[in-house]
Amino acid sequence: MRYQRVGDIVIVRKNLTEEEIKKIVEKTKCKSIVKYVTISGEFRTQYVKLLYGEETETIHKEHGCLFKLDVSKIMWSQGNIKERERMAFISNKRETVIDMFAGIGYFTIPMAKHSKPFIYAIEKNPVAYKYLCENIKLNKLKNVAPILSDNREVKLGKVADRIVMGYVHKTHKFLDKAFSFLKDRGIIHYHETVPEKILEKRPIERVKFYAEKYGYKIIDYKIHKIKKYAPGVWHVVLDVHLER
């Protein structure tokens, strides 16, 4: 049977018999089992049904980091594991980074811990923000400034060497704001869900449109496939180096 472990909680995709629940509990020693129902809305809220146990809050360990979250309110994407690892080691001590969609710190926590830049982590959902703050403390990080706000309301000026845009719903609508944060030279990690046929074209064309609008040139770019999102649709991230 396929299931996902988040800390000491197991997430399954279908209803289980008593026998199946017993087997999973014996095998994993989990404290709860939940059935994934859906993820929806701008906060990417996760809805689940409790099949076993009572608690839905847990601490997940990954890449030497701790992530506290409540699986009944907050998503955890197993498919993004490689990207969380890539982001962990991509920056350095000299950089200022803005994570525009920080969530509970999916990219902020591993990056702050392993690459050690200074990170402004912006999150709009108060529940995710609460866990972001807890995760900064749990991982003993001093180089993260959490900001509870819609990123479009945040005024930091052009301070960012690197910007993470880990959001997949109309992410291009946030590129105006991203360019307002970007130094004259910098990198944007731009996420999008895109049909396979236009995977090589649409993300870069969208970023190029805004780059030109703000007088930046694209020095270099690379597209990475993160995961299959839906039939014929990929979640991708575009790393774009920009200069003006």
As annotated, the binding site for S-adenosyl-L-methionine includes 77, 84, 123, 150-151
Positive or negative torsion for Cα 32, 37, 39, 41: negative
Quick one: which of 71, 63, 70 has its CA closest to 90? 63
Would you count residue 101 as binding ligand SAM (CB under 6 A)? Answer: yes
- How far apart are the C-alpha atoms of 16 and 144, rounded to whole Å? 41
**Residue selected from 56, 77, 91, 115 as contacting ligand SAM according to rule CB under 6 A:** 77
**Residue selected from 128, 165, 175, 242 as contacting ligand SAM according to rule CB under 6 A:** 128
Nearer to ligand SAM, 44 or 241 (CB): 44
- How far apart are the C-alpha atoms of 238 and 189, rounded to whole Å? 6
User: Alpha carbon of 35 to those of 4, 38, 67: distances in Å?
Assistant: 10, 9, 20
Stretch that binds ligand SAM, among 58-66, 89-97, 124-132, 203-211 (CB under 6 A): 124-132
The length of the chain is 244
- How far apart are the C-alpha atoms of 58 and 52, rounded to whole Å? 15
Least CB distance from residue 104 to ligand SAM, whole Å? 7
Would you count residue 151 as binding ligand SAM (CB under 6 A)? Answer: yes
Least CB distance from residue 155 to ligand SAM, whole Å? 14
**Residue selected from 1, 14, 78, 150 as contacting ligand SAM according to rule CB under 6 A:** 150
Would you count residue 75 as binding ligand SAM (CB under 6 A)? Answer: yes
Site string for ligand SAM, 31-60 (x = CB under 6 A): -----------xxx----------------
Would you count residue 106 as binding ligand SAM (CB under 6 A)? Answer: yes
Q: b vs e for 85-121, b when ≥16 Cβ sit within 10 Å of the residue's Cβ?
A: ebbbebbeeebbbbbbbbbbbbbbbbbbbbbbbbbbb
Q: Which amino acid is it at 88? A: A
Nearer to ligand SAM, 22 or 152 (CB): 152
Helix (H) or strand (E) holding 145: strand 144-148
Nearer to ligand SAM, 32 or 80 (CB): 80
**Residue selected from 67, 131, 167, 181 as contacting ligand SAM according to rule CB under 6 A:** 167
Q: How far apart are the first and last CA of the chain?
A: 53
Least CB distance from residue 222 to ligand SAM, whole Å? 19
Quick one: which of 175, 183, 181 has its CA closest to 212? 175
Stretch that binds ligand SAM, among 6-14, 21-29, 47-55, 145-153 (CB under 6 A): 145-153
**Interacting residue ranges for ligand SAM, rule: CB under 6 A:** 42-44, 75, 77, 80, 101, 103, 106, 122-125, 128, 150-152, 166-167
